């Protein structure tokens, strides 16, 4: 295996990657931004749709939010918190723009936990502005969290369901027959 590199305008280019196998020779010309970048570039962590809240940024992120906020008060050592975390990550993507999902590590920000009188983790609090609307404690499935949010008119579909459409069709037929 031989590898030659050359520097050209601050870009490393792999000029030739040559692998010799019995009776087979493979030569590849590769651009630095593709192979070299994928192999050796430092990767930025993926951006999360969930905001991390501390005592310092609480007012900015939570209180001044224009949409309802779902605040997950968790601890890194907590098993049920680790169970609930992927559920909230998925919902943060699914319900983007309808609810802002935020996480607070109670060990790092005990002042925020005290604000909500947290006795157990995970505790999830639903806020509209600075007002607490509801909360639950413990891990829940995605379906249960969605039902809980729908009770608070978050994540509801704006399109009519098929049963609503069929009901209106029947009512329309009755009106047309009587006319």
CA atoms of 178 and 80, how far apart (whole Å)? 59
102 is catalytic: no
Please report, for residues 19, 82, 126, 142, the alpha-carbon distance to residue 89 in angstroms, rounded to integers and kept in the order given: 43, 11, 16, 10
Q: What is the CB-side half-sphere exposure of residue 126 using CA atoms within 13 A?
A: 16
27 is catalytic: no
Report helix, strand or coil for 84: helix
Q: Which residue in the list 30, 35, 78, 146 is annotated as catalytic?
A: 78
Q: Which residue in the list 53, 69, 81, 88 is annotated as catalytic?
A: 81
Q: How far is CA 104 from the centre of its chain?
A: 15
CA atoms of 14 and 38, how far apart (whole Å)? 13
Cα angle, residue 130 at apex, residues 95 and 133 outer, rounded to 5°: 65
Q: Which residues are catalytic?
A: 78, 81
């Amino acid at each position: 295996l031989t590898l030659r590199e050359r520097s050209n305008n601050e870009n490393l280019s792999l000029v030739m990657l040559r692998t010799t196998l019995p009776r087979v020779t493979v030569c590849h010309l590769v651009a630095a931004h593709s192979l070299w970048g994928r192999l050796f570039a430092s990767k930025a962590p993926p951006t999360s749709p969930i905001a991390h809240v501390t005592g310092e940024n609480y007012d900015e992120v939570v209180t001044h939010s224009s949409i309802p906020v779902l605040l997950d008060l968790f601890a890194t050592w907590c098993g049920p918190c680790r169970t609930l975390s992927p559920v909230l990550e998925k919902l943060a993507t699914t319900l983007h723009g309808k609810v802002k999902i935020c996480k607070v590590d109670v060990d790092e920000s005990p002042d925020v936990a005290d604000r909500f009188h947290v006795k157990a983790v995970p505790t999830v609090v639903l806020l509209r502005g600075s007002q607490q609307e509801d909360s639950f404690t413990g891990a829940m499935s995605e379906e249960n969290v969605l039902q809980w949010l729908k009770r608070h008119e978050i994540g509801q579909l704006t399109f009519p369901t098929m049963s609503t459409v069929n009901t209106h069709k029947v009512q329309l037929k009755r009106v047309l027959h009587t006319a």
